Homo-oligomer: A and B are copies of this chain.
Amino acid sequence: MSWNERKRPICLEKRFEFESYDLTRDFLDKLGEHSESIQRFPDISFGRTYVNITIRPMKEDSELDDVDRAFAQEIDALM
């Protein structure tokens, strides 16, 4: 499944679903380590078995670029 590209505000969004809270937390932990290693912190919403991620452009009020899309793919690779 691919990321949804939104226009107002400009962002990439994706919902990940999991079979248990343990799997949700494993993913959040990996995501946290990755965020820290590249110093990029998306907005994240989660509950017991889902995680929603919102990636905004690095530069405020600009378009999404290849770096943003690469970040989305890196997150996919954590699954």
By a beta-carbon cutoff of 8 Å, the part of chain A in contact with chain B is 21, 25, 28, 32, 35-36, 41-48
CB atoms of B44 and A48 under 8 A apart: no
Whether A25 contacts B21 in the complex (CB less than 8 A), given A44-B46, A45-B43, A46-B44, comes out as no
Interface SS majority for chain A: mixed
Q: How many copies does the complex hold?
A: 2
Q: List 16 A-B contacts (CB under 8 A).
A: A21-B35, A21-B36, A21-B41, A25-B32, A28-B28, A41-B47, A41-B48, A42-B47, A43-B45, A43-B46, A43-B47, A44-B45, A44-B46, A44-B47, A45-B45, A45-B46
| Chain B hits for A35, CB < 8 A | 21
| Chain B hits for A28, CB < 8 A | 28
